[in-house]
Each structure stands twice: as C-alpha cells, then as structure tokens.
Amino acid sequence: MSILHWAVLAPFIYTLLIPITYKLLKRVHTGWFVLPLPILLFVYFSSNIGTTSSLQAKIASIPWIPSLGIDFAVKLDGLGMLFSLLIAGIGSLVILYSIYYLDKDKEKLNQFYVYLLFFMGAMLGVVLCDNLIVLYMFWEITSISSFLLIGFWNNRSNSRYGAIKSMVITVFGGLSLLAGIVLLYLMTGSFNISEIITSVQQNSIISHPLFMLGMICILLGAFTKSAQFPFHIWLPDAMEAPTPVSSYLHSATMVKAGIYLIARLSPVFAVSGYWLWIVSLIGIITLLYGSFLAVKQVDLKGLLAYSTISQLGMIMSLLGIGAAGVHYDNESIYYIATAAAVFHLVNHATFKGSLFMMAGIVDHETGTRDIRRLGGLMKIMPITFAIALIGSLSMAGIPPLNGFLSKEMFFASMLNIRDFNMFHLDTWGVLLPIIAWVGSIFTFVYSMILVFKTFTGKYQPEKLSTKPHEAPMGMLISPIILVSLVVIFGLFPGVLSNTILSPAITSIYGGGVYDLHIYHWHGFQPELFMTIGVIVFGTILYLSVTKWSVIYQAIPVVWNRIYDWLFGETENTFNKLTNKYMTGSLRTYLIYIFSFFTLILSYTLFTKDGFKIDTSLLAPIGGYEAVLSLVLVISTIAILFSKSRLTSIILLGAVGYTVSLFYVVFRAPDLALTQLVIETVSVALFLLCFYHLPRNARKKESIPFKLSNAVISVLVGLVVMLIAIASYSTKLFDSISPYYVDNTYIKAAGENMVNVILVDFRGFDTLFEIAVLAIAAIGIYSMITLRMGGKKNENK
Amino acid sequence: MEILMSIIIGILFTSATYLMLSKSILRIIIGTGLLSHGIHLLLLTMGGLKKGASPLLGQHASSYSDPLPQALILTAIVISFGVTSFFLVLAYRTYQELGTDNLEKLRGKKEHE
C-alpha cells in the first residue's frame, strides 16, 4: 500500500469517525471535523505537482483479485493530478461552505458528511485508478452517493423523484460502461488502462469486430454521467439536493467523471472517425440545447443546471475534436482543442462552483431562488453580487476572465476543424463553429439573466419571506476564493498552463511536452470577431428577452416527458401483463404448462427428425390383451362423460383393476398384487371424500364441454403417444437387466428378482419410498387433528 | 402390442389432462389417478412386453421379462398412492373448512394481489 492508495481510501476510513464526533461533540458543527481531510489531501496532491509536471507518473499497485487480472492499481499522472486537485480543493471549499449553510441542529449532519466523504473517496478512486474494473467500482459508488445526497431531504417527494431519476439514468450508463470494459478486455486482454493503451499503440483494435460495440457502450457510460444530450434530464432534477452538493457533485466533479473517462480512453478510440464525430456532435448539440433551455429557467439552480449541461457539452465537443490530433503527428493545431477542454474544465469548476454557492446564499438569505421574485439585491448583498458578476462574466466569456480565454480557444478549435480533411469534416465541419457560436450567444444571455435579474432591477421585499441581508462571512469565504481563482487564472493563465494543463494534455495523448501558451491577444483572428459578435448579439437578445421568450411556450418539454412516459408505461404495461396472465386460476396455469409441453416436444420431435416406427421389436397382440385394452379404453372414456361423481369413482376403480390385470398378462405378479390392494384402498378413500362433499355441491351436474380443454388434452395424449412409439423404436443399447437375472440367486440369495432389486440391489429407493409413506401418513394425521382456527373458536 | 399400448397410454393421458383442466377438485384427483396409471403402463411398455416368464427364478425359463421396470413401477405405485391419499384427505379437509369443491371459487382475496 503506497500513500496514494491511502489517499484514495482515506475518505472511506474517515467516515468511521463521523458518527462518533457527531454523537459525542454535539456542540461543534461536524463539518469542522471533516474539513481537515480534503485540505490534507489537497496538500498531498499539490506536493506531487513537481513529479507530474516533469511528465513522471506516480504508480503503485497491490493485487486484489490477481486471478481475474484485477489489481488495485493507482496512477497519478497529469490528468489524474488535475482532477485530484479539483476534487480535493473544491471539496475543502464546499465543506467549509456547508458548515455555514447547513444548520447543525436541524439537519442530520452525520449522514450528510458520510455520504459526501463516500463521494469524495469514490471520485478520487475514479480518477486515480488504473484498473478499469476498480474504476467501475468507484464509478458506481459515485452514483450511489449522489443518489443519497440528492435524496438527502427524503421527506420531500421532489427530492426522491430526482434521486431515483439520476440513479436510473446513471446506473443504466454505469452498467453499459461495465459492458464496454468487458468488451475492451476481450479486445486487448487487459483491464489496465496503461497496458490497454500500450497494446493499442502496437496493434490497433479498430478492425476488431467488437470495436464499435465497445466504443458505444463506453460512450453511453460517459454521456449519461456527464449529462449529455439526451441523458441530460437527470441533472436539473438533481438540483433538489442541498446547494453544497449541487455545487460539488453536479457542477465541479461528478459530472466531469464522464469527461475524464472520454479523455482517458481517447488514445484507445481516437483513431476511429466515429469517435471523433459522435463525441464532438453530441457535445455541440448538448451545448446548444443546454444553453437554449437555460434562458427559459426561472429557478436560479435550474438555470445553473442547464448551464452546466451546456458547458459540459462544450468540453465534450472539444475532446472530440482534440481526437483529430491523433491523425496528424506534426501539426498540433488540433491539440489546442484538448488544451481548451482541459483549461475550460478548470475554469468551469471555479466559476460554476462559485455561482452555485452564490445561488445558495441568495436562497439562504431571501428564502427563494425564483428569479421572478428576486431583484434589486445589489445594494443589500454587495459581496454576493460581486461574486455573481465575476462568475457570470467568466461564464459568458468576457475578457479578462478565464472564461474568455477558454472560449477563444474553443472557437479557434472549432474553426480549425474545417481544415481537417478526413471523415467528411471538411464539408460538414463548417456547421460546428456556427452551432458553437449560436450556443455561446445563448450562454451570454443566460449569464446576464442570472446576474442582472437577481441583483438589479426593482427590489420586491413584499415577495420575500425573510428580510434579506448580506451573508455571514464564513459562507462567503469559499465563493470568494473561487472567484479570485477565476480572476487569477484569467490574468495569469501561465500559472496553470505549464504546471497542470500541459502535463494533463500529455497524459491524454502521450508524447513529449506540449508547449501551451495562452494569450489574451491573438491579433485580429476570426475567433476575436466571433467573441465580439457574441457580445453584440447577446446584448441585443438579452435586452429584448421578454419579446422573444414566448417561443419557449411553443417548445414542448420532450425528453422529460419521454422519461416519465417510459417509466410509467413500463410499470403499467408489466402490471397489466402480469394481471392478465397470472389469473389465479389453476386451470389457466395448467393450460400454459400443457401447451408449452406439447409445443416444445412436438417441435423437437419433428425438427430433429426424431419420429420413426420400427415394427421388428414388437410383441404380438393376443386375445386377452385386446379384450383388456377395450375395457380399459371404454372405462377411461366413460369417466369423461359420467354425470355423477360416484360413477366416475367406480370407473376409476375399474381402470385400476384392468391395469392390474394387464400386469398379470405382462408377467408382473408383484405389480398386480400391489395394484389390486392399492386400488381398493384408493377407491375407498375416494368414496370417503365423495361422502363428505358439501350438500349443496353434491347434486349431480353435467360437466360443460370445453373445446379448448379437449384440444389441449388430445394434443398432450398424441404427443405422449408419438414419443412413446418413437422412443421404443429407437434402441441405442441393450438393457442391463441380464445382470440382475444372472446374479439374483448367486449374489443375493433370492429367486424373486423384483423383490431382490427392491431390497437388495436398489434398496435405497425403497428406504425413501418408506419415508414418503411415513410422511404422507404423518401429514394426513396432522391435517385431521391439528385445528389452529378451531382452537380460536373454542376460546371465543 | 407396444404400439397398441402406446395408443392406450395416449388415451389415458388425454383423459387425465381433460379431467385435470376441470373445476372440481375430485375430478382433478381422478385425473391424477389416471395419469399415474398411464405413466406406470408407459414404464412397463418401454421395457418391452411379453419377452419371457415372470421374473421368478423358480420358473426355470430360458428368458424372463425385464425385472427392472417392474421394480421401478412398484416404487412409483407406492409413492403415488401416498401422494394421492394425502391429496384426498386435503380435499376432504378443504370441503370441511371452505364448503366448496369448486376451484374457481378457491381464489385469493383481492387485497392479496
């Protein structure tokens, strides 16, 4: 176990402390005990920046299930470092924020911090594990802890709905990811990401028949986790979680797990044009769709949720385009896309984290998150306003903040893709920058709505339940730190580029140091005009938003409806189906069993060409047998037509005695004896039953003829008959009976072979047959004597 | 002979199935009785019929009928007798407690669904 292993496991181990501190130290907010852990982790990861920035990776592995190739292998390289710093860093800030956000007397803090630490550990596991199966394990723990956190206020039905929805969608994706991992294992023979990448570089798996399926399975896993179109629907409903959770899980970390996976497995799949197309198209559609719908939202967190969807789409599309770089060794103009993706990943985590915290503060201080009820808070909450302004401007891509830089790089990569002359990108690729540009305009519009509708305009105290005032300092610390990062990364992007971003890019595609220079001023490049266009058109659209926002009423909410319909219909359909075939009537079930039996047997008999008649083995038909057969058939059929039950019982007796006569004819004296006695006793029992019939049911009734029953019965009889004839005509080998004939006297000292077989050669059968009789006798005795209901009646 | 027996067994199975699909418990148990007769005869027939003397060494015959299916049938007869008698008493108790022998009336209550 290296320190890196302990770093992944530390949050899980730490959860053991939480219930103890919560119970014993009730006066201190439990969050204070949790806070040191992520800070410690952050410090630990930062201390390794030197290793990763010199393109070294910290690798450690301990065997877990070696026979299946599953090792707990961890690897801290540039990409892992970037994500670990985000997880630990934003984790510390969110925990600090939650200390002031959640009330220590009203909330179940022990549960909250246990779930949150589970999530943190799982997320570290996802980004640090080198073994795909272990990665998948942590991946599912993030789903489960996210489910628990969304449903934290489980007395609210909306929370439960959101939790279930996110669980269903992400676990669907998770299982698909597992399938993808297994397929990848079949193609490469390893679960280890590093080994997979090495083996893929030696011989590409693109021509492997499972390649496409494996790719789609893994993409499904990544897209559902990262809320890509059309799996984005769980994210807005996940806003029912407490705001620190939304800020941490649903903007900065968990939703980036899918992005991490795409980035991590890009070297495996990037050679395929489909990968490039699917990832960038889905990303760009998500970008446009999310930013378009965000404008419509009236809830601050709803708006931020759609904005997150849109920004994740942007990062995703950049990763897709970055894959184009694999096809060119010398030119690196496509690597700018990967650089933009990684850079925007950091930027988005900083500004979106701070914006969510801002929304939480507004909610906390005014009692509402509804934009229509808010307004004019600028003077009352100046610090919060400053946070919102910086965050939103960065999100909209205004210079000199960090969002501007990554958006410029985004436009540049989208424009570059037109030069790419593979996979039809030179013709259709022109669509990408246009969609990107339109999406960015909407991004600008909702960013403006977020800050100006909340903080400027008319102050409406009559619509607010509490009197708003500035938030306590403790609550403001975390968003202030995040927006300072927004400004610092904006002004001095070099801080990040060579220490964190560049190693991350290298660890995606390998090779040497990618020399990343982020400039504010590119000269008069097309992307600059695009940004100017975004600002101009965005301002026009924002100012006229009341005029054109009516179009949103014309657009139906498609994907949520589809989800609800699917969910409801599945339940309904199967309910109806089960009610339909599980009728509760024995007759129906017997019909199913008999029909299935008939169908399968006759199908097999005739498709396998199993039917044949061989007359050479047959015994001759004597006069006795003919008469007996006639009697047997007549009495059997007569049972069917007898109107009185007494007649049927007597006829059954007749059948039994005829059968025993058959045993006589066919040289089976012991059988004849037993059959005679047992038939007599059985008939007596039947008569007992008949005698005790309830009076009203004893009157004779004709049995109505049912055609369906008749058809099924005839088919059953026919199939049994055919199989009997066919199997008698197929003798594969001789009987083993000559052994019994030869050895009955010599070895077992008996002359009656049947009896010797029963008690000597095969005595075990007899032992348990005796047991059956004993059990039947005890059962009958207890049925007659034990009266549980009767005793109750006596007591009354 | 074996083909004739197969036809008889088919008829026994047909009647048994038809009875088992009816509503009255007594008819269902009669059906199971017919079904076990059919199966015992099937066992005997598949072993081959009339191949020699009864399986008793005192007969000093040159060939005997196969003793193994007979032993199997003897076991089966006893077991089916045990089960049938148990069912009959069960049916008898059902009449006593519930006052009906109509299977369609022996349904769970709605709230149990």
Residue range B47-81, pLDDT digits in tens: 888 778 888 888 788 888 889 999 999 999 999 99
**Torsion angle (degrees, nearest 10) of CA B66, B71, B73, B75:** -170
Rounded Cα gap, residues B2 and A625, in angstroms: 11
* Residue B61 contacts A where some CB pair is shorter than 8 Å: no
Task: Provide the mean pLDDT of chain A.
Answer: 85
The pTM score is 0.81
Contact between A757 and B30 using a beta-carbon 8 Å cutoff: no
ipTM summary value: 0.93
In the structure encoding, which two tokens stand for residue A480, read together?
Answer: 């202030």
Candidates A632, A665, A721: best to mutate against B (most CBs of B within 10 A) is A721
Q: Which residues contact A567 (CB under 8 A, 6 or more apart)?
A: A168
Q: Which residues contact A211 (CB under 8 A, 6 or more apart)?
A: A187, A205, A272
Residue of B11, B23, B51 lying closest to A636 (CB–CB): B11
* Residue B75 contacts A where some CB pair is shorter than 8 Å: yes
Question: Residue A735: its chain B contacts at CB < 8 A?
Answer: 47-48, 66, 68
* Nearest chain B residue to A591, by CA: B21
Decide if A107 contacts A119 (C-beta within 8 A). no
* Residue B62 contacts A where some CB pair is shorter than 8 Å: no
Peptide bond into A400 cis (omega under 30): yes
**Which residues are bridge partners to A70 per DSSP?**
A65
In the structure encoding, which two tokens stand for residue A341, read together?
Answer: 């993706």
Question: Residue B57: its chain A contacts at CB < 8 A?
Answer: 744-745, 751-753
What is the nearest CA distance from B5 to chain A, expressed in angstroms? 8
Contact between B19 and A639 using a beta-carbon 8 Å cutoff: yes
Rounded Cα gap, residues A216 and A171, in angstroms: 16
Question: Residue B82: its chain A contacts at CB < 8 A?
Answer: 772-773, 775-777
**Terminal-residue alpha carbon distance, chain B:** 51
Contact between A709 and B21 using a beta-carbon 8 Å cutoff: yes
Helices (H) and strands (E) in chain B, counts: 3, 0
Give residue B52's pLDDT.
Answer: 82
Q: At what angle do helices A273-294 and A257-269 cross, to 10 degrees?
A: 160
Decide if B72 contacts B43 (C-beta within 8 A). yes
Helix intervals (H) in A249-334:
257-269, 273-294, 300-322
Angle in degrees, CA A84, A85, A87, rounded to 5: 65
Evaluate if residue A664 carries a pLDDT over 60: yes
Mean pLDDT in residue range A28-35: 85
Domain ranges for chain B, please list them: 2-49+66-98
Nearest CA among A298, A299, A70, A81 for reference residue A178: A70
* Residue A794 contacts B where some CB pair is shorter than 8 Å: no
* Residue A660 contacts B where some CB pair is shorter than 8 Å: no
* Nearest chain B residue to A659, by CA: B37
Give residue A512's pLDDT.
Answer: 64
* Nearest chain B residue to A579, by CA: B113
Confidence grade of residue A795 (pLDDT, cut at 50, 70, 90): very low
- Name the A residues in 610-629 with CB < 8 Å from any B CB: 613, 615, 617-622, 625, 629
* Residue with the two structure tokens 């023979």: A189
* Nearest chain B residue to A684, by CA: B85
* Residue B68 contacts A where some CB pair is shorter than 8 Å: yes
Mean pLDDT in residue range A703-727: 88
What is the nearest CA distance from A5 to chain B, expressed in angstroms? 51
* Residue B105 contacts A where some CB pair is shorter than 8 Å: no
Decide if A215 contacts A167 (C-beta within 8 A). no
* Residue with the two structure tokens 């008793």: B56
pLDDT, tens digit, 9 for 90 and up, residues A56-66 = 888 888 888 88
Q: Which residues contact A767 (CB under 8 A, 6 or more apart)?
A: none
Residue of A667, A716, A776 lying closest to B14 (CB–CB): A716
**Torsion angle (degrees, nearest 10) of CA A628, A629, A630, A634:** 110
Nearest CA among A165, A74, A58 for reference residue A121: A74
Peptide bond into A382 cis (omega under 30): no
Contact between B77 and A674 using a beta-carbon 8 Å cutoff: yes
Residue of B4, B10, B30 lying closest to A717 (CB–CB): B10
Give residue A176's pLDDT.
Answer: 94
Question: Residue A625: its chain B contacts at CB < 8 A?
Answer: 1, 4
Out of A140-154, A189-203, A280-294, A305-319, least confident range: A189-203
Evaluate if residue A699 carries a pLDDT over 50: yes
Candidates A629, A647, A667, A788: best to mutate against B (most CBs of B within 10 A) is A667
- Name the B residues in 5-44 with CB < 8 Å from any A CB: 5-24, 26-27, 29-30, 33-34, 37-38, 40-42, 44
pLDDT, tens digit, 9 for 90 and up, residues A301-350 = 888 999 999 999 999 988 888 887 777 654 566 778 888 888 888 889 98
* Nearest chain A residue to B46, by CA: A728
Give residue A409's pLDDT.
Answer: 83
In the structure encoding, which two tokens stand for residue A207, read together?
Answer: 């021509």
Mean pLDDT in residue range A224-236: 88
Work out the number of other CB atoms within 10 angstroms of the CB of residue A522. 12
Contact between A725 and B3 using a beta-carbon 8 Å cutoff: yes
In the structure encoding, which two tokens stand for residue A744, read together?
Answer: 């009955």
What is the nearest CA distance from A165 to chain B, expressed in angstroms? 28
Question: Residue B66: its chain A contacts at CB < 8 A?
Answer: 735, 737
Angle in degrees, CA A756, A758, A764, rounded to 5: 125
Contact between A735 and B47 using a beta-carbon 8 Å cutoff: yes
Question: Residue B81: its chain A contacts at CB < 8 A?
Answer: 678, 681-682, 773
Evaluate if residue A115 carries a pLDDT over 60: yes
Residue of A685, A689, A721 lying closest to B10 (CB–CB): A721
How many interface pairs between A and B have CB atoms less than 8 angstroms apart?
272
Confidence grade of residue A562 (pLDDT, cut at 50, 70, 90): confident
Contact between A694 and B79 using a beta-carbon 8 Å cutoff: no
Give residue A629's pLDDT.
Answer: 92
* Residue A662 contacts B where some CB pair is shorter than 8 Å: yes
Residue of B7, B70, B96 lying closest to A671 (CB–CB): B70
- Considering all CA atoms of chain B, what is the largest pairwise distance in Å, rounded to the nearest integer? 69
Confidence grade of residue A623 (pLDDT, cut at 50, 70, 90): confident
Confidence grade of residue A796 (pLDDT, cut at 50, 70, 90): very low
Give residue B100's pLDDT.
Answer: 73
Question: Residue A640: its chain B contacts at CB < 8 A?
Answer: 15, 18-19
Give residue A711's pLDDT.
Answer: 92
What is the nearest CA distance from A310 to chain B, expressed in angstroms? 47
Q: Which residues contact A519 (CB under 8 A, 6 or more apart)?
A: none
HSE, CB side, 13 Å, CA atoms: give it for residue A573.
6
Evaluate if residue A791 carries a pLDDT over 70: no
Question: Residue A639: its chain B contacts at CB < 8 A?
Answer: 15, 19, 30, 34
Evaluate if residue A511 carries a pLDDT over 70: no
What is the nearest CA distance from A19 to chain B, expressed in angstroms? 41
Evaluate if residue A426 carries a pLDDT over 70: no
* Residue with the two structure tokens 């914006």: A355
Question: Residue A621: its chain B contacts at CB < 8 A?
Answer: 1, 4
Contact between A667 and B50 using a beta-carbon 8 Å cutoff: yes
DSSP string across A565-619: HHHHHHHHHHHHHHHHH--S-HHHHHHHHHHHHHHHHHHHHHHTT------TTPP
* Nearest chain A residue to B104, by CA: A585
Rounded Cα gap, residues A642 and A38, in angstroms: 85
Give residue A111's pLDDT.
Answer: 87
Work out the number of other CB atoms within 10 angstroms of the CB of residue A326. 19
Rounded Cα gap, residues B55 and B42, in angstroms: 19
Selected residue with higher pLDDT from A674 and A465: A674
Decide if A538 contacts A110 (C-beta within 8 A). no
pLDDT over 90 for what percent of chain A? 24
